Amino acid sequence: MTLDQAELGRRLEELAREYRVPGASLAVHAGGRTVLAATGVLNRGTGVEATTDSLFQIGSITKTLTTTLVMQLVDEGLLDLDEPVVKVLPEFKVADPNVTASVTTRHLLTHTSGIQGDVFTDVGRGDDVLERFVARCADLGQSHPIGATQSYCNTGFGVAGRVIEVLTGKLWDTALREGLLAPLGMDRTFTLPEDVLRFRAAMGHLPVPDGGADDWPRPAPRWDVPRSAGPAGIVVGTAEDLVAFARMHLADGTATDGTRVLSAASARMMREPQVAVPDRWTIADHWGLGWFLPTWEGRALYGHDGGTIGQSAFLRVLPDRDVVIVLLTNGGRTRELFRAVANEVLPETAGLRVPEPPQPPAAPIPVDLADWYGSYERHHVRMDLAPGEDGTPELTVTVTEGLAGLDEPPHRMPLTAVDPDAGLFVTREQDFAAWTPVVLHTLGDGSRYIHFGGRATPRTG
């Protein structure tokens, strides 16, 4: 496949239709040029066409922007990643006083603080939103002991955003605009809905209940994410703007016009492995500062994904070939679409394919999980592992408070053993869906965790 815009657009259209993705915007940078394509509609309720300059929610890719702002503070000598957060935010506290006293910014950026991570408390729209969010952290417990393992933590980035505000004397939104968006020419990237409304913007779409492979998703009941989630995942922008951000990191902190945005040392530090990920099959085997760090066919990449209410975003950077892929979507089987699109682009541009995810073995592997059966719980999520009706292990996941308060029915998912010695199982709710890894992980002290969707959920009963 050549990086021809018409051909790229044709394949994107075909694949988006196959995976029932209503709308998508794609940007590929390779060979010194950026090619753009878009397909579908921004909202199946209105039929507005998706274009290459349409805005999509980038979700947690926002975290790489926030981390870059943090590293600018390191460059300026205003912040030490390994000093306790309370040195900058003396009012910060969580339920465990030892964690309050010792958690560092590095813990926050690498998802190793153990602080309950999926806190999306809406504390309003005022400019003091992050200050109020930090105050709400006082009662948060731990998913795991600080530094003991890795579990995805949105909460930590809200705290990091407040660190940015205190040390710059600016709102996080303003620091982002002045420190990154303006120098990089990202003039179609925003944090507030009143700015987004001036442009074409995607609406998220959610699956039809009990729908099949041929059913298209329907528009979500709401668009916005609480402003308190800003530094963790509120940014809205274009695929082309994200390429500009990624190219700055490829150039070790220098914008295309030569502007130094970040020191080379800090840019490189962000993509150095900081922690091994117990579930190395879902996204990556290591995490850096902000970036996750997958290895594909022995070659190092960095990137991040994002998910909001029915929108999904994907960013991958292959530094040894100066290749960047950005895919922004608004519902459907988005991860499968990204894999298919990347496998159209990468063989030619980088001599590489996306590794196949774990699959059930041809012959079932017998396992005895009696010692693992029980309840596992973290903030707003309960998991129950028990034998199903046919005796095979079944995981029931109940979201007790979803993103932005949206309710979800319990998810009942049978587990299939792939590599029991590594704790690796796979599951899926529907026959047409992609397999998802589930990892049973034991810490050094013997405590047991289920790693699923990037999160570590401890056994509680």
In the block, which residue shows the tokens 């003039």? 187
Helix or strand (DSSP H, E) at 458: strand 455-458
Residues comprising the chain, all counted:
461
Question: Does the pLDDT at position 3 exceed 90?
Answer: no
Residue 182 neighbours by CB under 8 Å, 6+ apart: none
| Residues contacting residue 326 through CB under 8 Å, at least 6 positions apart | 26, 27, 28, 239, 240, 242, 243, 246, 313, 314, 315
CA-atom Rg of the chain in angstroms: 21
State yes or no: pLDDT of 347 exceeds 90.
yes
Listed as own residue / partner, the contacts of 341-345 with beta carbons closer than 8 Å and 24 or more positions apart are 341/11, 341/12, 341/15, 341/26, 342/316, 344/1, 344/11, 344/15, 345/1, 345/3, 345/8, 345/28, 345/30
pLDDT tens digits, one per residue of 357-383: 999 999 999 999 999 999 999 988 999
- The per-residue pLDDT for 406 is 57
Is residue 103 pLDDT above 50, yes or no?
yes
Locate all alpha helices (DSSP H) within 290-359, ordered by sequence: 334-350
The answer for residues whose C-beta is within 8 angstroms of residue 284's C-beta and 6 or more apart is 277, 292, 293, 294, 295
Confidence band of 1 (pLDDT split at 50, 70, 90): very low
Query: Which of 278-287, 295-304, 311-320, 401-410 has the weakest average pLDDT?
Result: 401-410
d(CA 453, CA 117): 12
- Phi/psi for 307 (5° steps) reads -145, 130
Which pLDDT value is given to residue 380? 86
**pLDDT digit string, tens, across residues 196-246:** 999 999 999 999 988 888 999 999 999 999 999 999 999 999 999 999 999
Average pLDDT of the residues in 108-123: 93
d(CA 283, CA 209): 27
Dump pLDDT digits (tens) for 379-414: 889 999 999 988 899 999 998 765 545 567 888 999
- Could you write out the DSSP letters of every residue in 181-205? ITTTT-TT-BSSHHHHTTS-BPPPE
Instruction: Give dist(CA 298, CA 296) in Å, integer.
Output: 5
Q: How far is CA 406 from CA 144, 224, 330, 337, 400, in A?
A: 26, 12, 17, 25, 10
Query: How many Å apart are CA 17 and CA 40, to the nearest integer?
Result: 8
CB 172 within 8 A of CB 230: yes
d(C-alpha 429, C-alpha 335), whole Å:
15
Residue 49 pLDDT: 98
Distance from first CA to last CA of the chain, Å, rounded?
A: 53
3-state secondary structure of 143: coil
The pLDDT, as a whole number, for residue 407 is 60
> What is the CA 223 to chain-centroid distance, rounded?
18
Predicted pLDDT at 435 = 94
E strand or H helix at 312: strand 312-318
Confidence of residue 120 (pLDDT cuts 50, 70, 90): confident
pLDDT > 80? residue 343: yes
Strands (E), 43-143: 56-57
**Other C-beta atoms lying within 10 Å of the C-beta of residue 77:** 7
> How far is 31 from 324, CA to CA, in rounded Å?
10
pLDDT for 404: 46
pTM (two decimals):
0.96
Percentage of the chain lying above the pLDDT 90 cut: 90
> Is pLDDT of 431 > 90?
no
CB atoms within 10 A of CB 299: 14
Task: Tell me the pLDDT of the chain averaged across its residues.
Answer: 95
Tens digit of each residue's pLDDT (9 = 90 or more) over 7-35: 999 999 999 999 999 999 999 999 999 99
pLDDT at 198: 96
Q: Residue 309: which residues within 8 A CB-CB, separation 6 or more?
A: 204, 206, 220, 222, 223, 225, 403, 404, 406
How far CA 305 is from CA of 346, 356, 397, 453, in Å, comes to: 18, 18, 22, 12
Phi–psi pair at 339, nearest 5 degrees: -60, -45
Render the burial of 339-361: b for 16+ CB within 10 Å, e for the rest. Answer: bbbbebbbeebbebebeeebeee
pLDDT in tens, 76-90: 999 999 999 999 999
What amino acid positions are annotated as catalytic residues? 60
In whole angstroms, what is the distance from residue 352 CA to residue 341 CA?
13
Strands (E), 31-112: 33-40, 56-57
More confident residue, 406 or 250: 250
